[in-house]
């Protein structure tokens, strides 16, 4: 019998880590600090902002449409923000923190004024983490969380929506194929539509063509097999002998990061003051 605990688990984020840099994948997903036996993570202002905005929006999915008070989004955001204030969110100054906090409030005001899917029914799956056997024979599990599944009543189908809080649009990832696979294997309804909502940039959703199920599976399983093999061989080399994806974590394991606490997954969380300073300068300029 296959054992979920000994299987190789892959997700959109871990697959992205591996495709960026195998060494970064190792440091983010495998390595444990020998002193604490905890995995490590790094928090940055942009990550903190995204976490808080997502948490506030995703909380609406458990409420019936008539109970979703969109006028309360900004007050909820301010309350939730307290958990990432200061160094806990990677901020090195009050002015830097206020810039990001203001961006978050602006996003949620945009949502309140253009509620779109939040005025429609949603499908909420009770599992905290969606997962299924991508290949039971090869002991590989695909897992992840979907931001929002709008219920399309006339077709008894779902519309998958992912919220984007970045200042730039991104392309080329396996996120949509992965979410399509997770949705089709975790609930009974067909996927009717898939969209991104760049809530820092736009009032409306941007829709994409549905992926082909077989092609999506093949794309994801191909990378997942490489990850499984790398773990078996314990071979996680950076293709550039050091890159922007792995270097920050190399600094952390060399003791150059500042510990700011544990995250919700019991990972030791660090900030890099030099990285935060560079980010702050980019924002100011």
Strands 190-198 and 157-164: parallel
- Alpha helix segments (H runs only) across 138-244: 175-186, 213-233
How would residue 1 be classed by pLDDT, with cut points 50, 70 and 90?
low
Query: Helix (H, G, I), strand (E, B), or coil: what is residue 208?
Result: strand
Q: What is the pLDDT of residue 126?
A: 85
- List, as one string, the DSSP characters of 239-255: TTSS-TTTHHHHHHHTT
Query: What digits encode the pLDDT tens for the residues 226-275?
Result: 999 999 999 999 999 999 999 999 999 999 999 999 999 999 999 998 76
Query: Helix (H, G, I), strand (E, B), or coil: what is residue 119?
Result: helix
Q: What is the pLDDT of residue 275?
A: 63
Instruction: Read off the tokens for 172.
Output: 């080329």
Query: What digits encode the pLDDT tens for the residues 42-101?
Result: 999 999 999 999 999 999 998 999 999 999 999 999 999 999 999 999 999 999 999 999
172 pLDDT more than 90: no
CA distance 30 to 39: 7
| Beta carbons of 194 and 180 less than 8 angstroms apart | yes
Largest CA distance in the chain: 58
Neighbours of 254 (CB within 10 A): 8
Query: What digits encode the pLDDT tens for the residues 140-170?
Result: 999 999 999 999 999 999 999 999 999 888 8
CA distance 86 to 129: 29
Query: What digits encode the pLDDT tens for the residues 86-139?
Result: 999 999 999 999 999 999 999 999 999 999 999 999 999 888 899 999 999 999
278 pLDDT more than 90: no
Q: What is the pLDDT of residue 269?
A: 98
| Beta carbons of 250 and 27 less than 8 angstroms apart | yes
Hey, where are the domains in the chain?
1-20+121-234, 31-119+255-285
285 pLDDT more than 70: no
Q: What is the pLDDT of residue 127?
A: 85
Strands of the 268-271 sheet, one edge to the other: 40-42, 268-271, 258-262
Phi first, then psi: give them for residue 237, nearest 5 degrees. Answer: -95, 140
Query: What digits encode the pLDDT tens for the residues 173-203?
Result: 899 999 999 999 999 999 999 999 999 999 9
Residue 212 is classified by DSSP as: P
284 pLDDT more than 50: no
26 pLDDT more than 80: yes
CA distance 30 to 10: 12
CA distance 92 to 98: 11
| Beta carbons of 10 and 29 less than 8 angstroms apart | no
- Alpha helix segments (H runs only) across 21-117: 22-29, 45-58, 73-81, 94-113
24 pLDDT more than 70: yes
Q: Which neighbouring-strand residues pair with 151?
A: 158
Q: What is the pLDDT of residue 170?
A: 80
Q: Which neighbouring-strand residues pair with 158?
A: 151, 191
- The full length of the chain comes to 285
């Amino acid at each position: 019998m296959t054992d979920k605990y000994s299987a190789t688990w892959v997700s959109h984020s871990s697959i992205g880590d591996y495709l960026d840099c195998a060494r970064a994948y190792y440091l983010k997903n495998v390595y444990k600090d020998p002193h604490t036996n905890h995995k490590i993570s790094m928090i940055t202002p942009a990550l903190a902002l995204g976490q808080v905005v997502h948490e506030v929006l995703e909380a609406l999915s458990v409420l019936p449409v008539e109970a979703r008070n969109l006028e309360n989004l900004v007050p909820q955001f301010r309350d939730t923000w307290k958990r990432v204030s200061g160094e806990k969110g990677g901020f090195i100054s009050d002015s830097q923190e206020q810039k990001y906090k203001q961006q978050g409030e602006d996003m949620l005001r945009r949502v309140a004024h253009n509620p779109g899917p939040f005025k429609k029914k949603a499908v909420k799956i009770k599992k905290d983490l969606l997962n299924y056997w991508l290949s039971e024979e090869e002991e590989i599990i695909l897992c992840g969380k979907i931001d929002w599944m709008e219920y399309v009543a006339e077709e008894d189908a779902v519309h998958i929506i992912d919220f984007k809080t970045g200042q730039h649009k991104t392309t080329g990832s396996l996120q949509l194929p992965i979410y399509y696979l997770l949705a089709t294997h975790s609930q009974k309804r067909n996927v009717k539509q898939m969209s991104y909502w760049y809530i820092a940039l736009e009032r409306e959703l941007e829709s994409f063509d549905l992926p082909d199920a077989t092609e999506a599976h093949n794309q994801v399983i191909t990378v997942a097999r490489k990850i499984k093999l790398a773990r078996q061989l314990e071979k996680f080399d950076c293709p550039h002998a050091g890159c922007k994806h792995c270097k920050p974590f190399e600094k952390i394991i060399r003791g150059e990061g500042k510990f700011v606490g544990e995250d919700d997954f019991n990972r030791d969380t660090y900030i890099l003051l030099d990285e935060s300073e560079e980010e702050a300068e980019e924002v100011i300029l």
